[in-house]
Amino acid sequence: MAGHVEKALVIDAPVKDLVAGASSHADARLRWCRIPTRNLDLLARHQDSTTATLPSPKFLRLLNPKMAQAKPDAHAGDAFVGIDDDEEKARAIAENDLQGSRKQASIVLLWLSFQATGVIYGDIGTSPLYVYSSTFSAQPSWQDLVGALSIIIWSLTLIVTVKYCFIVLSADDDGQGGTFALYSLLARYTNISRRDPRDVPGIRLQRFETGDLKTGGKSLRSLLEKSRTIQFFLQFIGVLGVSMVMADGVLTPAQSVLGAIQGIKVINPDLGTSAIVGISCGILVGLFLIQPFGTSKIGTTFAPIVVIWLLFNLCAGIYNLAVHDYTVLKAFSPHFAFSYLVRNGHEGWKSLGGLLLAFTGVEALFADLGAFSKRAVQLSWICLAYPCLLIAYIGQAAYISHDETKQAFTNPFFNTVPPGTLYFSLVIAILAAIVASQAMITSTFQLLTQIMRLSYFPRVKVVHTSQTFHEQVYMPMANWLLMIGTVIITAVYNNTTSLGNAYGVCVITVTFITTCMVSLVAILVWRLPAYIVVPLWLVFASLDAAFLSSVYEKVPDGAWFTLLLAFTLSCIFTLWRFGKECQWEAESHDQLSPQALLFPTTATKGRVALSSTLGGTPISTVPGLGIFFDKSGIANTLPPSFFQFVIKFAARPAVVVLFNMRPLPVPTVPLTDRYIIRRVSEMDSCYAVTLRHGYTDSILYPGLAQDVVQQIAISIAKGRRNDMTAVELDLVQSSRNYPTVYILGKETIKIGWPSVLSPKAYLRSWLLWVFLWLRENSRTKLADLDIDADKVIEVGFIKEL
């Protein structure tokens, strides 16, 4: 069948090793199910080809409710995997793991929408504080005012509502948002990114021929997969988008809080700049101090503030529209937007840099998607934030157009509030500005979690703050660094006008990157024809480019700082990924099978010895239990911690446990589903134990060894019995009476400096040197161990890159 070749999942293990509970391999019946390719990683996360356990039929139905009993056929975008007809009970944990497919009840959706209002819309919601003052330097004419208002209206409509709410939010990667989620999604459908070969054991990717990708899509995918330059460019702009949002996360709190505190000058004109900066810094420090409470609690607390703020803007806008000048409603005609730009020429184009502040914070809608949901974000924007902001800007324009003092535009919010509400507006504006900072703080946590998971950043501490939603996290290190950066920015720039020159450049750059990457997703993932995607891309890219070109004129006036910060972060992320790929390449040769390490010998009276290639030294057995940490959990391979221990000491514990930890995105895993145990048949008293755990489970605790021994004993007792079962069970149980040791591998990486003078080789060596410096100063494995330090052994070995 003609057509393109689609990526699919294949279990890379013999069928006889995969069928659970079959009385004979010949009688084992397999059926096939179609799994959407977008869910491959979910399946891979649970697939344990190293054990006799396969995904249950119920779990596979969750991946595709229309699972059909049929032979594999060429079906567009489907992956095929064999499963056993007599599979054990469906595991309840699988249902909890599929967050992306989980249908939310109405009450849950409304609650998430409420929380999303408190976290996401604080930034874009407080833009009425400073948009007009950042756009005009003198009292505008009615035509210019309505023209600027028209640009605001259509920007909120086209960029935020149409592009982000209805298009971009659909391009999530397993519920995750942000530019890097787009890159990850593209990498899943095209061979443009290397994976850690030890991350998903026993699984490889192949393609089936299908016919749904058009000629243009085939050519585009072929170009991406063949060009290393384009692959690196896509990777870098994905990382750059993340970096831009994080740089924006430093500026947003300063801009929002300064904009609100400056409102005090309306009441007390004599208040100095130093006082405003001091108050702003104090508020910002307090905001970062409450972050450990978590997104859910903060969002629930902040949501009423944002709702009141938006509704107050709505009411003030309606009042100004009714009392002052309802003719500004003509701004809904895009004719006024074009006339404004044509009439003002270069100055009108420059003013776009101020008008784009109306949608700063739009990137939070997508970046914070993992903490909430697509439907919750859409509902809260369309039903609340969007209409309130439109009326707010319209009302301010109505007041400014009839302002006799000619000064209302300088502080557009406080000067246009209805009579008698000034003090209330000041209080609610300050509170809303505090909330505005939360959107970008949460975005930073979300994006850092993503890039850590995909090996673009060193390990740092991540605290899950919700028992229900996996992606609601708090990162202490990121929180304190953001706080320091924000306070410094507030003190240096000290007013919203100066800060506005630096603010916004990241926002519009991210929106432009998002437009381009979503277009690639539409062609390669959604399989839309190019004649639909390209015209839409031209429309949205032109809008973004107009704002982008105007804001980059501010680079000498302060925008250089955010660009420098974003570029520095991008280099760090890209460097870490480069180092990890070099490390993976070096470690790929470390996989050693039991047969290659040990072999039984009659000369040692039933004991084993090292293989002849390793010297043939007899191996002694030491009483007790040894738990060797195994990162990969790949069947028929030994972790470096074990074979390095055996080679160096010519000894092994009486009971060996190859311990692999597999995290699942659920709060907790029931004890009955937690352990997967398999005998390593090539070695006596050796067991491969996989511990599946949720993000709130305590896994490395003082009683871990006792629990592991108990689970192994239960597994032996439930298995097939023979003459040696009692002896094996007694040996495992008796290991409790001897010392238990936890053995970790301590890999020391050294750089192989080039012997031949080559700029490229020396550049690679210097980049790896920086990577190793970051690696040595990042969070270690021991930081997560809550067990007695005197029971831990680190076996060192050297690896050369």
Q: Is the pLDDT of residue 314 over 90?
A: yes
How would residue 160 be classed by pLDDT, with cut points 50, 70 and 90?
very high
In a domain, 795, yes or no: yes
Instruction: Check residues 39 and 705 and name the one with the higher pLDDT.
Output: 705
Instruction: Check residues 534 and 92 and name the one with the higher pLDDT.
Output: 534
Single-letter residue type at 504: G
In a domain, 460, yes or no: yes
How would residue 216 be classed by pLDDT, with cut points 50, 70 and 90?
confident
Q: How many domains, in total, are found in the chain?
A: 3
Residue 146 pLDDT: 95
In a domain, 201, yes or no: no
Instruction: Check residues 297 and 644 and name the one with the higher pLDDT.
Output: 644
Q: Is the pLDDT of residue 662 over 90?
A: no
Give the separation between CA 356 and CA 124, rounded to whole angstroms.
11
The set of long-range contacts for 556-559, using a CB threshold of 8 Å and a minimum separation of 24, is 557/501, 557/502, 558/493, 558/498, 558/499, 558/501, 558/502, 559/501, 559/502, 559/504, 559/505
Domain boundary among 581, 614, 630: 581
Instruction: Check residues 189 and 601 and name the one with the higher pLDDT.
Output: 189
Is the entire prediction scored with pTM above 0.85?
A: no
Give the separation between CA 284 and CA 780, rounded to whole angstroms.
31
Q: Is the pLDDT of residue 630 over 90?
A: no
For residue 585, what are the CA distances in angstroms to 75, 89, 196, 405?
34, 39, 9, 69
Can you tell me the mean pLDDT for 653-657? 89
Residue 89 pLDDT: 31
The CATH number given to whatever domain includes residue 267 is: 1.20.1740.10
Residue 284 shares a structural domain with residue 394: yes
Beta carbons of 561 and 750 less than 8 angstroms apart = no
Instruction: Check residues 108 and 390 and name the one with the higher pLDDT.
Output: 390
Residue 595 pLDDT: 66
Residue 60 shares a structural domain with residue 181: no
Can you tell me the mean pLDDT for 195-222? 61
Residue 599 pLDDT: 58
How would residue 28 be classed by pLDDT, with cut points 50, 70 and 90?
very low
Residue 730 shares a structural domain with residue 677: yes
Instruction: Check residues 51 and 347 and name the one with the higher pLDDT.
Output: 347
Residue 532 shares a structural domain with residue 396: yes
Beta carbons of 716 and 740 less than 8 angstroms apart = no
In a domain, 663, yes or no: yes
For residue 196, what are the CA distances in angstroms to 79, 199, 200, 666?
21, 5, 8, 23
Give the separation between CA 98 and CA 665, rounded to whole angstroms.
9
Please give the angle made by the CA atoms of 294, 300 and 302, to the nearest 5 degrees: 95
Q: Is the pLDDT of residue 26 over 60?
A: no
- Domain range for 780: 589-800
Can you tell me the mean pLDDT for 334-339? 94
469-482 confidence digits (pLDDT tens) = 666 788 888 889 88
Residue 571 shares a structural domain with residue 600: no
Closest CA to 125 of 432, 401, 457: 432
Residue 521 shares a structural domain with residue 630: no
Residue 607 shares a structural domain with residue 701: yes
Q: Is the pLDDT of residue 424 over 50?
A: yes
In a domain, 199, yes or no: no
Q: Is the pLDDT of residue 537 over 70?
A: yes
705-747 confidence digits (pLDDT tens) = 888 888 888 888 887 666 677 888 888 888 888 888 888 888 7
Q: Identify the top-confidence range among 200-209, 371-380, 579-588, 592-601.
A: 371-380
Residue 650 shares a structural domain with residue 704: yes
Residue 20 shares a structural domain with residue 68: yes
Closest CA to 529 of 210, 214, 223: 214
Domain boundary among 581, 612, 629: 581
Question: Which single residue is written with the structure tokens 């057509």?
Answer: 3
The share of the chain scoring above pLDDT 70, in percent, equals 77
Residue 16 pLDDT: 31
Residue 198 pLDDT: 53
Instruction: Check residues 604 and 642 and name the one with the higher pLDDT.
Output: 642
Residue 494 shares a structural domain with residue 468: yes
Residue 621 shares a structural domain with residue 517: no
Q: Is the pLDDT of residue 236 over 80?
A: yes
In a domain, 206, yes or no: no
What SS3 class is residue 177? coil
Domain boundary among 43, 70, 97: 97
Give the separation between CA 164 and CA 182, rounded to whole angstroms.
13
In a domain, 205, yes or no: no
In a domain, 114, yes or no: yes
Residue 281 shares a structural domain with residue 314: yes
